[in-house]
Amino acid sequence: MQRIEPLGGDEFTPLTTYLNTASSGLLPARSAAALRAAAEESASYGTMGQDYFGPAEASRAAFARLMHVPPERVAIGGAVAVHAALIAGSLPHGSEVLFPEGEFSSLVNPFAAAGNGLKVRTAPLAELADAVRPGTALVAFSAVQAKDGRLADTEAVRAAARAHGARTLVDVTQAAGWLPVRAGDFDYLVCGAFKWLLCPRGTSFLVCGADGTAGDGLEALHAGWVAGADPMESNYGPIRQLAADARRYDEPHAHYSYVAAQHSLALFEEIGVETVHAHDVALADRYRAGLAELGHTPLPAPGSAIVSVPGLADAADRLAAAGVRVAVRAGNLRAAFHLYNSSGDVDRLLELLGEG
């Protein structure tokens, strides 16, 4: 088989064979250096640094470019669940929201726990488009399922939603960074950037509204001082004027997270998501072929960088002891292949599994 080298050059020198990006990504060297510098700066200038908004704005703009939308459509925050709760709280009382069965809790639970009487309904992922019906207000789903790596049929879901007048919310936490995505294809997009986009925890994005806030259907339910048209004039009392664009949905951001995020996102702009996609899928396909030779059958997830295998969960501890980082989800051994991985990493994993 052809050897596949890592992407990113000297940005990554992990001490482990790291195949667990679906849980969290590795931090590039440039991002780690920026974090160290920010921590040192804070000893003299405070934990908001000398420029609190600069790194966040650079990150917003970089994410917007990766998603092919203007930055005015992007809000920043710290967790997907907060973005999802904003959308849930903005829906009319009693609205029906459709999810795939077994969808990740950070996307589902804010709707299930909302106090406005939302009706949560589920359907198998493969049947999600067919399950959209008159009266469905929102279809919410992950582009890539965290549990097993399955890709949603986004085109079919979008078409069904349009046919029934429903909005779409896509979670690209397990997709952005390796799977090409266009945020403009959906009414709302959310992303936790600490996985495939290699940002720190506390970095998340919400994309909404084709024209800023016009017609996006959202209320600025958690608007604080950063959501004001002029944040430095929005510190006391009710905010007289919210930002005219998606910044009205911003949370006060974790400064250190965005100091690093701007550099991590820049790496993807340099390499190109399409290049990362080809690299990651080639590694996953190499692993699938090797599993077949060992007599193991992964769960079906064609075209995915995530591979989950039944019957191998007991190997996780043995792999960890050998310095190979994977995960166990729903009783299956889950491996995730990303730009810093090589064919050598795949072969090492297969060799260790073969010894079991």
Find, among 269, 274, 286, 270, the residue nearest to 342 by Cα: 286
Find, among 175, 219, 183, 206, the residue nearest to 80 by Cα: 206
Q: What is the tens place of the pLDDT at every residue in 223-269? A: 999 999 999 888 999 999 999 999 999 999 999 999 999 999 999 99
Residues 124, 128, 132, 137, CA torsion sign:
positive
Find, among 350, 53, 104, 66, the residue nearest to 230 by Cα: 53
The whole-angstrom separation of Cα 34 and Cα 66 is 21
- State which amino acid sits at residue 210: A
Residue 203 exposed, middle or buried by CB count within 10 Å (0-12, 13-18, 19+): buried
Find, among 310, 343, 348, 345, the residue nearest to 328 by Cα: 310
The whole-angstrom separation of Cα 183 and Cα 188 is 8
Task: Read off the tokens for 105.
Answer: 């809790």
Task: Read off the tokens for 244.
Answer: 């005219």
For range 198-214, the mean pLDDT: 84
Give the residue carrying structure tokens 């919310």: 169
Give the residue extent of every domain in the chain.
Answer: 9-28+272-355, 31-270
Give the residue carrying structure tokens 């909404």: 208
For range 65-86, the mean pLDDT: 97
Residues facing 207 on adjacent strands: 74, 189
Q: Enter the pTM of the model.
A: 0.96
What does the pLDDT read at residue 155? Answer: 97
Helix and strand element counts for the chain (H, E): 10, 12
Per-residue confidence at 20, pLDDT binned at 50, 70, 90?
very high
* Count of CA atoms in the C-beta half-sphere (13 A) of 41: 15
Long-range contacts at 287-292 (CB < 8 A, ≥ 24 apart): 287/335, 287/337, 287/346, 287/349, 287/350, 289/1, 290/346, 290/347, 290/350, 291/350, 291/353
Fold for 9-28+272-355, please state it. Aspartate Aminotransferase, domain 1 (3.90.1150)
Task: Tell me which CATH code domain 31-270 carries.
Answer: 3.40.640.10
What does the pLDDT read at residue 53? Answer: 96
What does the pLDDT read at residue 213? Answer: 56
